[in-house]
Structure 1
Amino acid sequence: MNNEYQALLATLRDDESTVVEGWLDEARISEPGVRRSAQAEATDILRLLREALQADGDPARFEAPVWTPLRDMLANLSRTRAAKGQSAGETSLFVLSLKKPLFEALQRRMAADPVAMSSALWALSTTADKLAQHTVGTFQLAREEIIRRQQEELLELSTPVVKLWDGVLAVPMIGVLDSSRTQMVMEALLQKIVETGSELAIIDITGVPTVDTLVAQHLLKTVTAIRLMGADCIISGIRPQIAQTIVHLGIDLQGVQTKATLADALSLALKQTGWRVSRSSGVSADV
C-alpha cells in the first residue's frame, strides 16, 4: 500500500468517531432521527472503506472484488434515497461531505510533514471522488428503475378491465395507444376472459385522442386475439372526427362492431348475450 493510503487508513482507524460527527455536521444533518440513521450509514461506509484499504485495495481500481462490499453499500444508499425522492445531487453531496472532516484529521496527523500530507490529501480527494461517482451512477440506475416501474403501474391503472355485466367485459382506453400498451391491454383482457368465461368484450376508445393507421392496427390485433379466445368484441367511442379519420385513411373495420358511446355498446352487448332489462316501475324495456 502507498504511504498516502497508509496515512488515510490510520486516520480512519484512529479518528472514526470524530470524522463521522464532522461528516454529519458538514452534510448539515441535525434532526435527531435522521442523524441517527445517517450516523449508522456513515459508520458503515468508513468501516468498509477501511477494510478495503487494509486488503491493499487501490481506489483507482474501484471495480475490483475487494471493493464489492463498499460498492454494494453505496448502491443501497442510492436506492434508498432515490425511493425517498431525493436527488442525485443531494446523495452525492452527502458522500462528498466526508472530504472536509477527513482533510482536517489528516492535517492534524501530518502537520509536521507537509510533503507527505499533500500526497495523503490528494489520495483522500481521489478516493472520495470515486465514492461519489459510484453513488451518482447507481442512483441514476435506481431512479430509472423506479420511473420504469411507476410507468408500468400507471399503464395498468389507465387500462383496467372492468366487468360490466355477466359475460360482458370492458376496457376504457385513455391516452395514446402504442405497441407496448396494446400488448399489456391484450394480455390483461385475454386473461380476464379466461377467468370470467365472458362472451363479449367492449373496447372503449373515447379517451383516445387520435386514431391513425398504427392505432387501428393495434385495435384490430386485439379484436383478432379476443376472437381466437372464442369471444366477440365491440369498439365504442367512435366520435365523428375519428370516423372521418378512419374513412380518410382507408382503414378497414369491416366485421368489427362499432358504437358511438359505451352505453350503446353495452346495450348491444346485452342483446347479443340474451339479457333483458326491466324498469323498476314495471315498464318492461328490451335492451
Structure 2
Amino acid sequence: MATDGTKVLIETVTREERAILDGWLGLLKANGSLRSGRIREAELETQAKSVLAQFRDALGSAGTDETADAYGTLHDTLANISRSRAIQGFTPTDTANFVLSLKEPIFDALGRVSGQDASQVAAGTWSASKVLDQLGLLTMEVFLQSREEVIGRQGEEIAELSTPVVRLWDGILALPLIGTLDSARTGVVMENLLQAIVDEEAEIAIIDITGVPTVDTLVAQHLLKAIAAARLMGADCIVSGIRPQIAQTMVHLGVELNVVSKATLADAFGLALRRTGRVVVRKAPAALDDARR
C-alpha cells in the first residue's frame, strides 16, 4: 500500500512547526536576507511565522492541492510580500528563496518524525516539494509583474523629465529632445508642448533635436505630429539641431518636415525673436559702464 505523503506532511508540519520555523529563519538570515538592510529582523520573523501558519492551515484543509480555495489567504500573503520586495529592490533570487528555503527544515522534520521509514520520508518529501515549488512560482510571477510595473512607472517619469518645455522669452518656447522618439514618448512630448503653449500663450515653439541620435521616417512622422498639434494650437514651429549627417539621411530617405529649420538652437531663437518683432542689440562697453553706475 502506497504511503500517503500528504498525511505525512500534514503531521510533520503540525508537530514540528516551531522547529521548522526556527530552521527556516536561520536559513533566511544565513542567506543574507538581512544584510542588505531592506528588511528588519522583526519584519522577516513576522512574515515567516505568518506564512508557515497559513501553510499549515491550508495543508490541513486542502492537502497539497495548491489551487484550492483554502490556499487563498496564503496566496495573498505571498503576493503582498513579493510586491513589497520588488519595490524594496530585492533580487529575484532573494524573493524565490523566501519560499524555497522552507524545504530544508521541512525535510529535516520529516526525517525526525518518520524515523527509519524511508517510504514515509520519500512520500512526504515529494508532497512538500510539489506544493512549495508551486508557491515559489507564484512568488516569482508576482515579483516579476511588480518589477515590470515599477520599471514602467520609472520609464514614464524619465520620459516626463527628458521632455521639458523651456520658456525662452515671452511667447517663445523651446522643447529640447534627447534620445529616440517612439510613439509613447511622442504622446508625452505633444502633451507637454501643447499644455505649455496654452499656459504661456506662446506664438512660436522651437523643437530642438540636437540630442536625437538619428532621424528616420518613423521619427520624422513623430516630429510632424508634434508640429501639426502645435500649429492647431496657434503656435508656429521651428526645428533646430539638424546635424549634417541627419540632413543627409533625411534627404536619402525623402523625408520632408515642411517646417523652417535651423542648424542650432541659437539660430532658431534669433529667428523667433525677429518673427515676434524683437531685436537684440549689443550695448557698447561705455554704455554698459554708464548703466552700471
1:213: which partner in 2? 217
Q: Shift in Å at residue 6 of structure 1?
A: 3.8
1:134: which partner in 2? 138
CA-based RMSD of the aligned residues comes to 2.4
Give the aligned residue type for 1:48: Q
Residues 269 and 64 (structure 1), Cα distance of their counterparts in 2 relative to 1, 3 Å cut:
farther
Conserved? CA contact 2:10–2:63, under 8 Å = no
Which secondary structure state, in structure 2, belongs to the residue aligned with residue 21 of structure 1?
helix
Conserved? CA contact 1:24–1:35, under 8 Å = no
Give the aligned residue type for 2:276: T
Q: Which residue of 201, 205, 211 maps to 2:205?
A: 201
Alignment of 1:183 with 2:184, yes or no, is no
Q: Partners of 1:59 and 1:275 in 2: how far apart?
A: 79
Which secondary structure state, in structure 2, belongs to the residue aligned with residue 59 of structure 1?
coil
1:80: which partner in 2? 84
Conserved? CA contact 2:165–2:192, under 8 Å = yes
Alignment of 1:264 with 2:235, yes or no, is no
Structure 1 unaligned residues grouped into runs of 5+? none
Q: Which residue of 40, 49, 52 maps to 1:46?
A: 52
Residues 213 and 9 (structure 1), Cα distance of their counterparts in 2 relative to 1, 3 Å cut:
same
Structure 2 unaligned residues grouped into runs of 5+? 289-293
Alignment of 1:253 with 2:254, yes or no, is no
Q: Shift in Å at residue 58 of structure 1?
A: 4.2
1:18: which partner in 2? 19
Q: Shift in Å at residue 137 of structure 1?
A: 1.8
Larger mean Cα displacement after TM superposition, 27-36 or 234-243: 27-36
Conserved? CA contact 2:179–2:211, under 8 Å = yes
Give the aligned residue type for 1:273: T
1:57: which partner in 2? 62
Q: Partners of 2:157 and 2:120 in 1: how far apart?
A: 56
Q: Partners of 2:119 and 2:248 in 1: how far apart?
A: 81
Conserved? CA contact 2:20–2:106, under 8 Å = yes
Give the aligned residue type for 2:278: W
Q: Shift in Å at residue 119 of structure 1?
A: 2.0
Residues 67 and 197 (structure 1), Cα distance of their counterparts in 2 relative to 1, 3 Å cut:
farther
The normalised TM-score by structure 1 is: 0.87
Conserved? CA contact 1:29–1:35, under 8 Å = no
Residues 191 and 65 (structure 1), Cα distance of their counterparts in 2 relative to 1, 3 Å cut:
farther
Q: Shift in Å at residue 208 of structure 1?
A: 1.0
Q: Shift in Å at residue 273 of structure 1?
A: 2.6
Larger mean Cα displacement after TM superposition, 5-14 or 241-250: 5-14
Give the aligned residue type for 2:113: R
Q: Shift in Å at residue 113 of structure 1?
A: 4.6
Which secondary structure state, in structure 1, belongs to the residue aligned with residue 202 of structure 2?
coil
Conserved? CA contact 1:59–1:130, under 8 Å = no
2:291: which partner in 1? none
1:90: which partner in 2? 94
Q: Partners of 2:112 and 2:142 in 1: how far apart?
A: 34
Give the aligned residue type for 2:268: A
Give the aligned residue type for 1:259: K
Deviations 1:78-134 (A, max 9, x none): 222222332222221221111111122222222265433432222112121111111
Residues 259 and 96 (structure 1), Cα distance of their counterparts in 2 relative to 1, 3 Å cut:
same
Which secondary structure state, in structure 2, belongs to the residue aligned with residue 198 of structure 1?
coil
Q: Partners of 1:14 and 1:160 in 2: how far apart?
A: 63
Percentage of matched positions with identical amino acids: 50
Conserved? CA contact 1:167–1:200, under 8 Å = yes
Q: Shift in Å at residue 253 of structure 1?
A: 2.9
